[in-house]
Chain A
Amino acid sequence: MNKSIQFDAAGRLRHFLTIDGLSRELLVRIMDVAESFSSVTEQQVKKVPLLRGKTIVNLFFENSTRTRNTFELAAKRLSADVLNVNIATSATSKGESLLDTIRNIEAMHVDMFVVRHEASGAAHFIARHVAPHISVVNAGDGSHSHPTQAMLDMFTIRQYKGDFSKLKVAIVGDILHSRVARSEILALNALGTAEVRVVAPKTLLPDDPEGLGVKVFHDVDQGLAGVDVVIMLRLQKERMSGAFLPSEHEYFTYFGLTEERLAKANPDAIVMHPGPINRGVEIDSRVADGPQSVILRQVGNGIAVRMAVMSMVLGGYVDALGVTS
Chain B
Amino acid sequence: MSGERLAIMGGRVIDPANGVDALVSVYIAGDLIVAVGDKPEGFATDQEIDAEGQIVCPGFVDLCARLREPGQEYKATIASETAAAAAAGVTTLCCPPDTRRVIDTPALVNLLRERADSVGKARVIPIGALTRGLQGKELSSMMALKAAGCVAVGNAYAPVENLLVLRRALEYAANCGLLVIVRPEEPALRNRGCVHDGAVGSRLGLPVIPVSAETVAVAQTLVLAGQTGAKVHFGQLSSARAVAMIAEAQSQGVAVSADVAVHQLHLTESAVDGFDANAHVSPPFRSQADRDCLREGLAKGVLGAICSDHQPHDPNAKLDAFPATEPGISSLETMLPLSLQLVEAGVLDLSSVIARLAHGPAVIMGLGAGTLSPGARADVCLFDTRLEWVVAGTDWLSRGINTPFYGSKFKGRVTRTLLSGRTVHCR
Which of B202, B207, B208 has the most chain A CB within a 10 Å cutoff?
B202
Where the two chains meet, the residues of B that have a C-beta atom closer than 8 Å to any C-beta of A are 197-199, 201-208, 210, 270, 273-277, 316, 319-324
Question: Could you tell me if A207 and B205 are in contact, using CB atoms closer than 8 angstroms?
Answer: no
Given known A-B contacts A121-B275, A211-B199, A99 and B204 have beta carbons under 8 A apart: no
C-alpha spacing A165/B274, complex, angstroms: 29
Question: Could you tell me if B206 and A121 are in contact, using CB atoms closer than 8 angstroms?
Answer: yes
Q: Which of B199, B205, B207, B274 contacts A182 (CB 8 A)?
A: B205
Q: Which of B202, B206, B319, B320 contacts A142 (CB 8 A)?
A: B206
A64 contacts the other chain (Cβ, under 8 Å)?
A: no
Given known A-B contacts A120-B323, A121-B275, A97 and B205 have beta carbons under 8 A apart: no
8 A-B pairs in the complex with CB atoms less than 8 angstroms apart: A1-B273, A97-B316, A97-B320, A120-B322, A125-B320, A142-B321, A207-B202, A212-B203
A2 to chain B, nearest CB (A): 3
Question: Could you tell me if B275 and A209 are in contact, using CB atoms closer than 8 angstroms?
Answer: no
What 1/0 mask marks residues of chain A from 140 to 181 whose CB sits below 8 Å from any chain B CB? Answer: 011111000000000000000000000000000000010100
Chain A residues within 8 Å of B270, by CB: 1
B307 to chain A, nearest CB (A): 27
A202 to chain B, nearest CB (A): 13
A218 contacts the other chain (Cβ, under 8 Å)?
A: no
Chain A residues within 8 Å of B206, by CB: 120-121, 142-144
A125 to chain B, nearest CB (A): 5
C-alpha spacing A121/B319, complex, angstroms: 12
A129 contacts the other chain (Cβ, under 8 Å)?
A: yes
C-alpha spacing A211/B208, complex, angstroms: 16
A44 to chain B, nearest CB (A): 42
C-alpha spacing A20/B204, complex, angstroms: 10
Q: Which of B202, B204, B316 contacts A121 (CB 8 A)?
A: B204
Question: Could you tell me if A119 and B322 are in contact, using CB atoms closer than 8 angstroms?
Answer: yes
A42 contacts the other chain (Cβ, under 8 Å)?
A: no
Chain B residues within 8 Å of A124, by CB: 274-275, 322
A98 contacts the other chain (Cβ, under 8 Å)?
A: yes
A122 to chain B, nearest CB (A): 4
C-alpha spacing A20/B323, complex, angstroms: 20
A206 contacts the other chain (Cβ, under 8 Å)?
A: yes
Chain A residues within 8 Å of B197, by CB: 207
Question: Could you tell me if B322 and A125 are in contact, using CB atoms closer than 8 angstroms?
Answer: yes
What 1/0 mask marks residues of chain A from 112 to 135 whose CB sits below 8 Å from any chain B CB? Answer: 000001011110110001000000
A260 contacts the other chain (Cβ, under 8 Å)?
A: no
What 1/0 mask marks residues of chain A from 44 to 77 whose CB sits below 8 Å from any chain B CB? Answer: 0000000000000000000000000000000000
C-alpha spacing A182/B201, complex, angstroms: 12
Question: Could you tell me if A1 and B274 are in contact, using CB atoms closer than 8 angstroms?
Answer: yes
Chain B residues within 8 Å of A238, by CB: none
Chain A residues within 8 Å of B275, by CB: 2, 120-121, 124-125
B415 to chain A, nearest CB (A): 34
Question: Could you tell me if B205 and A142 are in contact, using CB atoms closer than 8 angstroms?
Answer: yes
Chain A residues within 8 Å of B273, by CB: 1-2
What 1/0 mask marks residues of chain A from 71 to 103 whose CB sits below 8 Å from any chain B CB? Answer: 000000000000000000000000001110000
Given known A-B contacts A2-B276, A121-B275, A98 and B202 have beta carbons under 8 A apart: no
Given known A-B contacts A5-B274, A182-B203, A120 and B321 have beta carbons under 8 A apart: yes
Question: Could you tell me if B205 and A1 are in contact, using CB atoms closer than 8 angstroms?
Answer: no
A261 contacts the other chain (Cβ, under 8 Å)?
A: no
Given known A-B contacts A1-B276, A3-B274, A207-B197, A119 and B321 have beta carbons under 8 A apart: yes
